[in-house]
């Protein structure tokens, strides 16, 4: 589970040409080290908050533009547009529902018992994203990684391409070893861990605990 996660994170670092220790906001064209520092630091006075890659992406585009203009001290309109296009072309994934259920089978007992995880997501992408060598939107691959709480055992894995534009509802299903999940389910044997990792983008991953019912 952790090994598969690390492989995905390594691919993120390679594709964004950043380092694991760097702030994920540094992957955005136009956000230099000084501006990233200003964005990630909470001001000493006022109600403004510190930002990260996710909070920046979750802002309305106009609000994000005003924030960057305020902190960048004279960014040109063209440069600002390119920066905003880069931010909002990144997939923003919200898990709306995740449900793990047991599938009883007369033929299978013990280790053969199966469970199913149903996932409903909302994925938002505005405009084009990263381009391949031919200048075509190369898209973003999304990995769904399911593991146990205690032993970090890999239960299931799948990947898919994030939709190219607008807001899209996506449903996915993962089948897994129910007995293994229960045996290493943490408190009351009651949970599994779902990680949603976007390869090619840092700072927008999601992790949730899903109860076993």
Q: Are residues 67 and 6 in the same domain?
A: yes
Q: Give the Å distances, CA to CA, from 72 to 22, 28, 32, 65.
A: 19, 14, 9, 10
Q: Are residues 145 and 206 in the same domain?
A: yes
Q: Are residues 107 and 179 in the same domain?
A: yes
The β-bridge relationship of strands 166-177 and 114-125 is antiparallel
Q: Are residues 73 and 100 in the same domain?
A: no
Q: Are residues 122 and 163 in the same domain?
A: yes
Q: Are residues 108 and 203 in the same domain?
A: yes
What is the pTM assigned to this prediction?
0.84
pLDDT tens, residue by residue, 2-20: 899 988 888 888 888 888 8
Q: Are residues 191 and 113 in the same domain?
A: yes
Domain span at 179: 92-211
What is d(CA 178, CA 85) in angstroms, rounded to the nearest whole number? 43
Contact in structure between 100 and 210 (CB atoms under 8 Å): yes
3-state secondary structure 75-126: CCHHHHHHHHHHHHCCCEEEEEEEEEEEECCCCCCHHHCEEEEEEEEEEEEC
Is 100 exposed, middle or buried, given 0-12, 13-18 or 19+ CB atoms closer than 10 A? buried
Q: Are residues 137 and 204 in the same domain?
A: yes
- Residue 99: CATH number of its domain: 2.60.40.10
Domain count, the chain: 2
Tokens 């106009």 belong to 62
Q: From 88, 112, 140, give the residue that closes a domain.
A: 88
What is d(CA 24, CA 202) in angstroms, rounded to the nearest whole number? 5
Q: Are residues 68 and 102 in the same domain?
A: no
Q: From 88, 108, 126, give the residue that closes a domain.
A: 88
pLDDT tens, residue by residue, 130-145: 544 444 456 789 999 9
Q: Are residues 100 and 34 in the same domain?
A: no
pLDDT tens, residue by residue, 76-125: 666 899 999 999 999 999 999 999 998 876 455 555 689 999 999 999 99
Q: Are residues 134 and 150 in the same domain?
A: yes
Percent with pLDDT over 70 in the chain: 86
Is 166 exposed, middle or buried, given 0-12, 13-18 or 19+ CB atoms closer than 10 A? exposed
């Amino acid at each position: 589970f952790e090994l598969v996660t690390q492989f995905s994170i390594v691919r993120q670092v390679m594709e964004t040409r950043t380092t694991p220790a760097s702030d994920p906001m540094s992957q955005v064209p136009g956000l230099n080290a000084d501006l990233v520092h200003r964005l990630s630091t909470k001001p000493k006075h006022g109600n403004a908050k510190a930002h990260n890659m996710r909070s920046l992406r979750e802002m309305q585009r106009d609000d994000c533009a005003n924030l960057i203009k305020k902190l960048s001290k004279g960014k040109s309109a063209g440069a600002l547009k390119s920066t905003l296009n880069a931010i909002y072309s990144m997939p923003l994934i919200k898990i709306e529902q995740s449900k793990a259920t047991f599938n009883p089978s007369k033929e299978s007992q013990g280790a053969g018992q199966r469970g199913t995880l149903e996932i409903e997501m909302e994925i938002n992408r505005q405009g084009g994203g990263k381009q391949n060598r031919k200048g075509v939107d190369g898209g973003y691959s999304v990995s769904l990684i399911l593991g146990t709480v205690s032993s970090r055992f890999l239960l299931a894995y799948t990947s898919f391409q994030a939709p190219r534009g607008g807001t899209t509802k996506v449903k996915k299903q993962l089948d897994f070893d129910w007995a293994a999940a229960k045996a290493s389910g943490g408190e009351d044997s009651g949970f599994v861990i779902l990680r949603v990792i976007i390869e090619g983008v840092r700072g927008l991953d999601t992790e949730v605990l899903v109860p076993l019912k």
